[in-house]
Structure 1
Amino acid sequence: KKADKKADEKADEKKAESKPDIVAEYDLALKKYETDKTKYDADVKAFEKKIEDGQAEAEKLNKRFAAWYYVISDENVAKLRLKRDTIVKDKDKEKADDAKTTPGLPDIPGLKKPATK
């Protein structure tokens, strides 16, 4: 019976010790959360400020250079323009001949094939 009482007392002491640890852990986690949140809010404000500054700078430069334009010679434009021959290529004759065969059917001798165009 004395051993049971000692075991119960030890269990009660462990429970009592664990409760303040939980509260302390909670307080630490709460402080960490608050510091992280303030850092996040500061980062968001800095990012928004950076965006506003960039938009203001872009607007300023657009107003400054809006009347400017470049005159490019026809030779330079001709160098940049792609010709139809470089983009479009003729089909190979072999591939065109393959299209005449019946699609999906093997070429078996004696097999009646439907008429193709």
Structure 2
Amino acid sequence: MYKFASTASIAAPSAQLTLSGSGVFIFQIGSALGTSLNSQIVLVNGALPQCVFWLIGSSAVLGSGCKFQGILMASASIGFMDGASLVGAAYAQNAAVTLINSVITVPPACNL
């Protein structure tokens, strides 16, 4: 489990976060999650998108061209900017999930 008291971001353009190994990854974010232009989540060595959970205290914004993986669960909204993609699922409790020329691919359930 990775815990952020307030915001978390993948900030540099074309930044990459690599998650390695089988198991469950949980990111608990106190308020907002943001990604920059063309950033990406890369899963290697058995990591699966259906086993990566992003628990977000307010909103998430995935930047243009971002390639994200995992299950996004936000208290408020989730926004996908132009061309952002997700392998996983997006759930917003109190507001909308907005997609702008974006694609969500739903993987099978996490079976560990």
Give me the TM-score of the superposition, normalised by structure 1.
0.14
Q: Say which structure is richer in strand.
A: 2
Give me the TM-score of the superposition, normalised by structure 2.
0.14
Q: Say which structure is richer in helix.
A: 1
When Rg is computed on C-alpha atoms for both structures, the one with the higher figure is 1
